[in-house]
Structure 1
Amino acid sequence: MMGLALLVSAHASADPDSYNVGVYYFPGWSPGAGKGNSDPWSPIKRFPERKPLLGWYDDSNQKVIAKQLEWMKDYGINFVTFDWYWEGGSKPVAGAPISNYLHARDNHGIKFNILWANHAVFPRSLEEFDVMVDYWISNYFSSPNYLKIDDRPVVMVFSATELERSAQILHIDSALLLQMASRRAIERGLRGIYFVASTLPEKGRISNALPKAGYDALTAYNYHAGIHGMQYGRRLSHSYSELTGAYAENWNYIIEESELPYLVPVTAGWDKAPWGGSEDPAHDNSEGSSEEFRQHLLEARDVMTKNPERTKRTVIICCWNEFGEGSFIEPTKARGFSYLGAVRDVFGNK
């Protein structure tokens, strides 16, 4: 097998116009979003250096997504992946940002897709699962701006492990559940659904279980440790350099051990202090500077350059606006556009 060190170098040349750059978007910044907090920003206000350039905004305001899409376009982001929550009924929870995207006068050519946050609340029956999939097809997949790979709409699954557990409760395995969803899409004139599993670098799962479960590709929302740290007591990172080193370990391991395509995840950092802190308090030291972030992106770019077919030359950034977890590239009063500048500098998208 290829040595780990051979895959990562920060100095590879690359075609500046050939990368697909995405970013996760957390839809939790409007009154009542998620847990019903009348002011979701209240925990973040204790950390004024995190104040967005747009202020303590309401993400249900159409003007917010309009400005964010403009910035994404200006700094080379091609698609936005909305965290997506379903809690039964007939529509998603915290769905205002994606609705505002769909009604934007100008989306600046930014594609969109969903990350199904299936770790929150899962459909309580197969009938409700069908209702949820039909909602995807009718409200999202029908848009010409929906992100597709291999001509199929892309749905990322936050936790493949949780999907397996939930499917068992419904007396079905996850492979059949994904097949059901794809069949409904085919019946509506699509070519199926391109399912992407968010997963840790666990050998048996990435090389065997997830391909058999019907996933088309792998990725992650975020990592907190590298493959070696997970094997020896799950030691979480205590600095940004440790965190990005863990990412590099995981990139290399997954590319070597799994035949599925791998959409390369990257991180702006980790510090969960506003939301109560991490189980290991030192893990919250894992934020980095914009220059360190730039170096991390260079390493990811090199992995994609060396593995173009395996990675689809696609990178996805965590995150646009996870202010409670210290993982954000959205412009703030303290940072300005420095993190977005790193994205444009590395990937060169115009």
Structure 2
Amino acid sequence: MKVYHLFALLFMFNASAFAQQKYDVAAYVWPAYHDEPRFKQEMNIFHDGKGEWEAVYKAKPKFEGHRQPRVPLWGYLDEADPKVQEKVIDTALKYGVNTFIFDWYWYDDKPFLEGVLNNGFLKAKNNEKMKFYLMWANHTHTTYIDPNEPDKSKVYRQGEVTADIFDRFTDHIIKDYFSRPNYYKIDGKPVFAIYELGTFINGLGGMKEAKLALDKFKDKCVKAGLKGVHLQAILWGALPATISATPGDKTETQENTVKYLGFEGLTNYQWCHFIPTNQDYASWGEQAVAKYKEFDENFSIPYFPHVSIDWDPNPRYPGAAQPAVSGVTPEKLERFLYKAKQYADEHPNQRPLITINAWNEWAEGSSLEPDTLYKYGYLEAVKRVFKDQ
């Protein structure tokens, strides 16, 4: 009898071990599908009370075969509702998405779009099953998301922050997010991504000042009982190539920038940042994943491979049709997910982290969440590549 129980325990242990997912599949979350007060009070948009869902369900096709609106299979849910987030978390984990990267904002020295994270995700009963981290989306906030405004250059809020503001909001981040057991860490360090590194440097007043601010951030993390902070740069044109502060070194490279500032990782946010979009998804994706080798060779810090699902921002534009990717299918997505997995397998000395745009970028046409056309097709592609092993 004892032998039987021993074998049973060993079987349970091995089954549990095999059930563990090898890869960290992290999808970006656009937290705008709820009633954000600042939309109405400061921007005078989205009066239906559903946030940017309003732009999605009012979208119209602009050319033959244009798939607008893209209709969520679950309906236009309030994503700041913890019950909704419980469903989101369970679904994501079932299909192999085990990490969320929340787009995180701080304008006019106060938060913006924190409702989905604070009131929805972190209050969901199952939230600790899902890892999460923040990407500080520090771009200047324009009328880009206002579907009724044809002039997209009007500015609501500047993206630059001073050293004092950065110091204040990093206190908030450390206390309210980094301290949570399910905050995503690499080598024990909470991961914090910065979307526009050039905007950050400009706001601080230069490379030296930016480095001092980041060094202080790291020191605060250590004092809070953490091992520091794993700074992750979003790799695209907004990551500047500046003259290194190292004496005698006059080369201008993005590598020098991230090394000098102490970043430890790189990934992308969207393929549209470096590959033209008006083409079929198959060719778009092939050009994008071909960049993996270039990124790997150009940087000494780890590059974490990225996959984008689609690109079509037309719900945000009331006028002429905007460039969009065509011919997207779950089967084509699966091909590029395998490419990202292969890259991770070929780099065993770094965390097997893959980023995906996005979980729910409905207004930009890039969503893993089930829709009425492909149902759970995109999620099933993720599951086949990263979970069914």
Using structure 2 for the length normalisation, give the TM-score.
0.77
What are the within-5 Å matches in structure 2 for residues 148-163 of structure 1? 148-163=185-200
Aligned residue pairs: how many? 325
Residue 241 of structure 1: SS of its match in structure 2? helix
**Pairing 1:57-206 to 2, within 5 Å after superposition:** 57-90=77-110, 92-99=111-118, 100-107=120-127, 109-120=129-140, 121-122=158-159, 124-168=161-205, 173-200=209-236, 204-206=252-254
Q: Give deviations 1:207-243, integer Å, cap 9, x for gaps.
A: 22211121111111112265xx6xxxxx545221232
State the distance in 1 between where 2:137 and 2:102 align.
10
Alignment partner of 1:221: what SS?
Answer: coil
Match of 1:313 in 2: 352
Partner residue of 1:12? none
Check the 8 A contact 1:75/1:349 in 2, yes or no: no
**Structure 1 position 162, deviation (Å):** 1.7
Q: Distance in 2 between matches of 1:272 and 1:293?
A: 19
Structure 1 portions without partners, runs of 5+: 1-14, 230-234
Q: Which amino acid in structure 1 is aligned with residue 113 of structure 2?
A: A
Question: What root-mean-square deviation, in Å, do the aligned CA atoms of Structure 1 and Structure 2 show?
Answer: 2.6
Contact 1:267 1:319 in 2 (8 A): yes
1:55 and 2:75 matched: yes
Partners of 2:262 and 2:201 lie apart in 1 by 12
Q: Report the CA distance between 1:300 and its aligned residue.
A: 1.1
Larger radius of gyration: 2
3-state SS, counterpart of residue 54 of structure 2: coil
Residue equivalent to 1:232 = none
- After superposition, give the CA deviation of every residue in 1:175-199 in whole Å (9 maximum; x if it has no partner): 2221121111112221111110001
Say which is worse superposed, 249-258 or 268-277, in terms of deviation.
268-277
Distance 1:272 1:287, change over 3 A: farther
Counterparts in 2 of 1:287 and 1:110: CA distance versus 1, 3 Å: farther
In the TM superposition, what whole-angstrom CA distance separates every residue of 1:48-84 from its partner, at most 9, and x where no partner exists?
Answer: 6522122112222222111100101110111101000
Q: Aligned partners of 2:29, 2:388: CA distance in 1, in Å?
A: 20
Change in CA separation of 1:205 and 1:53 when aligned onto 2, cut-off 3 Å: farther
Q: Report whether the alignment pairs 1:346 with 2:355.
A: no
Give the percent of matched residue pairs that are identical in Structure 1 and Structure 2. 26
In structure 2, the CA distance between the partners of 1:136 and 1:280, relative to structure 1 (3 Å rule), is same
1:108 Cα deviation from its structure 2 partner:
6.0
Q: Which runs of 5+ in 2 are unaligned?
A: 1-18, 41-45, 61-67, 141-157, 242-251
The alpha-carbon distance between structure 1 residues 109 and 32, as it changes in their structure 2 partners (threshold 3 A), is: closer
**Aligned with 1:137: secondary structure?**
helix
Q: 1:238 maps to which residue?
A: 279
SS state at 1:173 partner: helix
- Structure of greater relative contact order (alpha carbons < 8 Å, 6+ residues apart): 1
Corresponding position of 2:148? none
Please state whether the residue corresponding to 2:124 is helix, strand or coil: coil
Q: Are residue 262 (structure 1) and residue 309 (structure 2) matched?
A: no
Q: CA deviation at 1:133?
A: 0.3
